[in-house]
Amino acid sequence: MYLTYYGLNREAFQITPDPSFLYMSSSHKEALGAIIYGVEKRKGFISIIGEVGVGKTTILRAFLEGHSDSNQKTVYIFNPVVSYQALLTAIFKGLDIVPAAADEVEMVNQLHEVLVENYKTGGTVVLIIDEAQNMPIMTLENLRMLSNLETATEKLLQVVLVGQPELERLLEQPELRQFQQRIALRAKICPLTEKESMAFILHRIAVASTPRNPVFTNKALQLIARKGKGIPRRINILCDNALITGFGRQLTPVPVSVVKEILVDIDGTSSPTLWKWGLVAGLVLLLGFGVLFYWETFNSQLSSGVVRNISQQEPGTLSESRKTTVISQQEVGQLGSTTRSDKSLHETPLGQLPSHARREFFTDDVTVATENNQSVKPGVSDLEQINNEESNIPASSNRQEAVASSSRRLPQSIQAQSVHRSSSGKGEDASVHHSTAIQSPSEQSSMVKRFVQHGENLSQIASETYGSTSLEYIEWVKRHNPHIEDPDMILPGQYIVLPEYPKTADLHHE
């Protein structure tokens, strides 16, 4: 239906083995030449092997139509799946001979006589077996016996075996080794190259049309040649479908887009362009899910790691930022009482403490100067409270009132001391006296409070502070830190008070 539209006189891409469209590639020429030479020289057995659709049958038709004469008699076997008896019967029928007997031996003898008479008159008998790879092994082995029909110099029967690569593997079997040795000529038809495929298409168009505008664009030809895989039958199918689609859309010459479309229909595969876009979309979605997962994981780790980050970073931050504040000796006593009385706070694991309590542990480098110019290291929370209290005391106010107001915002252990001092009825002097009663003069002169680092024990701390690991120093530290029950089991995050160790006489006096 598209012939007139594309200027064709007949269908150029039929899949039937039409010899008039035979394109002679190098391997096709070799196969046709082997048949012609083997028959003319009476070589006996000739084998032609090639893949499906490469043009084996077309080669046979070309030989029969163009290279045979009136003296040649040809027997063409289309269906090789026969017994030896049936094969002999087909040969007799092809030569117009009536068998004298049904016995195989008698039939072979009769055939021999016919071949000799034909040879004397200059004739040639050719037996062509197509799709020979399907012939039973027993039939092939008996066929070998016909090669014994010969003269002293020439074979009386020429046998051409045409088949797929399976024929070659069949002849390699041990039981057919004698038959394989009788094959005089062998040829193999190979698939076309891309260059030969394009020439094949143009050759068939030239045979079927008069000179006119091109039927396919160059890109369409290149795509068909590449996707045809060198098989003439497949190339014919692609070209025929492309011409039908192009005619339906009134496109001349046939563009490459039409070829891509029919490739999808024939091969059942997606278009290369759609496949690429699908891959890009899949990668984008995968990347989006990856970013989303990473963001959710990062937020989860960030929220769960706040406490850990604080516990790891605050000590270092505090040691880089030292602060010095002047407080009264009375308030130092209050801080010391808090250290000794708030035992339950320091027995709680660090990760379970509230944020305001955790800050009290990070005090190893905070130095506080007392009114007697002595160094004390109170907790951060205590220091902030004291600073806030001092900044809010009016100049003309009573100091005892300010201290009482401040004590209400301190922990309960410190408030209890404030209540005790106020109940004594001695005002500010009583507070000072109470603080002095808790701490010895040696303790008041120099009191250090430090943060326990990971891996430290009480012996190490005593050695660093007092220069000795003597039991007396360890007992001295335990005495001022009642929250320490086992000197070998102090936990990171605890703080301890390290008062100055008095002289031996003063210690015994106490």
Residue 51 sits in a domain whose CATH number is: 3.40.50.300
Q: Could you give the residue ranges of the DSSP H alpha helices within 321-411? A: 329-341, 343-347, 355-358, 380-392, 399-407
**116, amino acid identity:** V
Dist CA 443 CA 55 (whole Å): 112
The list of the chain residues with pLDDT below 70 reads 211, 269-278, 298-447, 503-510
The torsion of the CA quartet 182, 123, 37, 47, rounded to 10 degrees, works out to: -40
Residues 277 and 385 placed together within one structural domain of the fold: no
* Percentage, residues of the chain above pLDDT 90: 41
Dist CA 90 CA 74 (whole Å): 12
- CA neighbor of 442 nearest in space, from 466, 468, 464, 415: 466
Q: Which of 280, 304, 328 is a domain's end point?
A: 304
Neighbouring residues of 56: CB distance < 8 A, sequence distance ≥ 6: 31, 48, 50, 130, 162, 163, 189
Q: What is the CATH number of the domain that holds 204?
A: 1.10.8
Two tokens at 326?
A: 């002047």
Domain of residue 100 covers 20-189
Give the relative orientation of helices 218-227 and 194-208 as an angle to the nearest 10 degrees.
120
Q: What is the pLDDT of residue 19?
A: 92
Measured CA to CA in angstroms, residue 262 lies from 225, 255, 271, 274 at distances of: 14, 12, 10, 15
Residues 346 and 433 placed together within one structural domain of the fold: yes
Residues 320 and 379 placed together within one structural domain of the fold: yes
Q: Which of 170, 189, 208 is a domain's end point?
A: 189
Residues 381 and 238 placed together within one structural domain of the fold: no
- CA neighbor of 145 nearest in space, from 109, 93, 94, 199: 109
Residues 491 and 406 placed together within one structural domain of the fold: yes
* Number of independent structural domains in the chain: 4
Residue whose pair of structure tokens reads 């035992």 in the numeric block: 343
Dist CA 132 CA 185 (whole Å): 16
Report field, pTM of the whole predicted structure over 0.75: no
Residues 399 and 485 placed together within one structural domain of the fold: yes
Residues 315 and 396 placed together within one structural domain of the fold: yes
Residues 251 and 142 placed together within one structural domain of the fold: no
Task: Establish if 101 belongs to a structural domain.
Answer: yes
* Percentage, residues of the chain above pLDDT 70: 67
Residues 166 and 218 placed together within one structural domain of the fold: no
Read off the pLDDT of residues 172-199 as tens digits, 9 standing for 90 and up. 999 899 999 999 999 999 999 999 999 9
Residues 144 and 205 placed together within one structural domain of the fold: no
Task: Establish if 14 belongs to a structural domain.
Answer: no
Read off the pLDDT of residues 113-154 as tens digits, 9 standing for 90 and up. 999 999 999 899 999 999 999 999 999 989 988 888 888 788
Q: Using the Cα atoms of residue 346, residue 348, residue 352 and residue 353 in order, give the sign of their dihedral.
A: negative
Q: Using the CB atoms, write b or e for 432-456: b if 16+ within 10 Å.
A: bebbeeebbebbbbebbbbbbeeeb
Residues 326 and 359 placed together within one structural domain of the fold: yes
Residues 41 and 175 placed together within one structural domain of the fold: yes
Task: Establish if 403 belongs to a structural domain.
Answer: yes
Q: Which of 256, 280, 304 is a domain's end point?
A: 304
User: Helix or strand or coil: residue 289?
Assistant: helix
